[in-house]
Amino acid sequence: MNIVIFVRHGQSESNVAHTLTSDIDKSPLTEEGIKQVEALAKTMPKGMKIDAFYTSPVLRAVQSAEILEKALGMKPKLDKRLWERHMGGLNNVTFGSEQEQTAAMMEEIRSGFKKGMESWDSMQGRLKDFAHSIKGVTVAVSHHDPILSAMGIVDSKYDDYDVSTHLPTASATAIDFGNKKILHIGSRTLPDL
């Protein structure tokens, strides 16, 4: 068995401000983000066996993992493969709305990453490496684009041009890499596997 329950971090200051950032020490959780992750932690199915727990080293993910720690009964390990998508020249740029932010990212993708944003293949490669390095049921706190790229590993309909799939903050997405199936997408409850 090789199942990863990816948890997107709770709402952060950069989410509210529509700022793209892949910096490790910026954009902590908002009060709402803390409440979101606390609510998600309460949905932990009783008796569910988790074999490992990892988190991106980016502040908003680490703070989310610290909240989930009690519910999971284990400390998270930092793993750089779960890091936010590297934003290149778009890093720390603030936009007027989520739509403007998405449009700027799509322009960067269509340009062939002229501003240095991390490519889909690079991001997917590190998530594939992570998925193949673990066994059993793993919880991994990460970010929207890395989780979407992990979904694309088992189902090619999820790709860099997919703007229709939105993974809410503090949501869970479960992927069975052994059987190449997505079990659960962007839910505010942890799946009962």
The per-residue pLDDT for range 82-98, each reduced to its tens digit, is 999 999 999 999 999 99
**Token representation of residue 58:** 């980016």
pLDDT of residue 81: 98
The per-residue pLDDT for range 30-42, each reduced to its tens digit, is 999 999 999 999 9
Q: 5 - beta bridge partners?
A: 139, 174
Distance CA 173, CA 16 (A): 22
Give residues with Cβ within 8 angstroms of 60, minimum separation 6: 9, 10, 12, 14, 27, 28, 29, 33
pTM to 2 decimals?
0.96
Helix (H) or strand (E) holding 53: strand 52-55
Amino acid at 42: K
pLDDT of residue 191: 86
Q: 19 - beta bridge partners?
A: 94
Correct CATH for 2-16+29-87+118-187 of 3.40.50.1100, 3.40.190.10, 3.40.50.300, 3.40.50.1240: 3.40.50.1240
pLDDT of residue 1: 83
* pLDDT, mean of each 10-residue run, the chain (193 residues): 96 96 96 98 88 98 96 95 97 96 94 96 97 95 97 94 93 96 94 83
Instruction: Please state the length of the chain.
Output: 193
Using the structure block, give the residue that is written with the tokens 């052994």. 178
pLDDT of residue 163: 87
3-state secondary structure of 101: helix
Using the structure block, give the residue that is written with the tokens 């066996």. 49
Domain segments of the chain: what residues?
Answer: 2-16+29-87+118-187
pLDDT of residue 48: 84
3-state secondary structure of 40: helix
